[in-house]
């Protein structure tokens, strides 16, 4: 099993996401969901802990199972991100959309664009 550790700029993510944590799922779906918010939502979902979880210190997260994490990400994108098969910009649900397969290399590029970097040394390396 290949595990990878990533360290987001947690203060930035936390500031962006904590304001939305009090929102209901309906309110969340009606707001625009960007990639860091989506990752935070997955990390807060107890069912995803076998695939991805925060490290004990809470400053970085580890992907335990790439395939399962990509499945979670695909499902969350479909449900919460406009233009990815989920809700539209006007808040209406277009109905079920085919699940889009996300490639690992595409995901790592996207994480780099959002300054979520892979930990290559130290205790959190993975």
Burial class (CB in 10 A: 0-12, 13-18, 19+), 105: exposed
Is this prediction's pTM over 0.85? no
Residues of the chain scoring pLDDT < 70: 1-33, 82-100, 126
Residue 77 is predicted with a pLDDT of: 84
- CA angle 61-67-68, nearest 5°? 65
């Amino acid at each position: 099993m290949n595990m990878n550790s990533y360290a987001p700029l947690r203060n930035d993510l936390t500031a962006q996401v904590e304001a939305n944590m009090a929102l209901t799922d309906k309110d969340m779906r009606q707001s625009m969901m960007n990639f860091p918010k989506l990752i935070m939502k997955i990390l807060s979902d107890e069912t995803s802990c076998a695939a991805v979880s925060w490290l004990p210190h809470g400053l970085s997260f580890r992907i335990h199972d790439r395939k399962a994490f990509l499945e979670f990400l695909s499902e969350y994108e479909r449900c919460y991100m406009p233009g990815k098969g989920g809700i539209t910009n006007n808040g209406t649900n277009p109905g079920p959309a085919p699940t889009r397969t996300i490639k690992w290399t595409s995901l790592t590029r996207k994480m780099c664009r959002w300054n979520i970097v892979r930990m290559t040394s130290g205790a959190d390396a993975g």
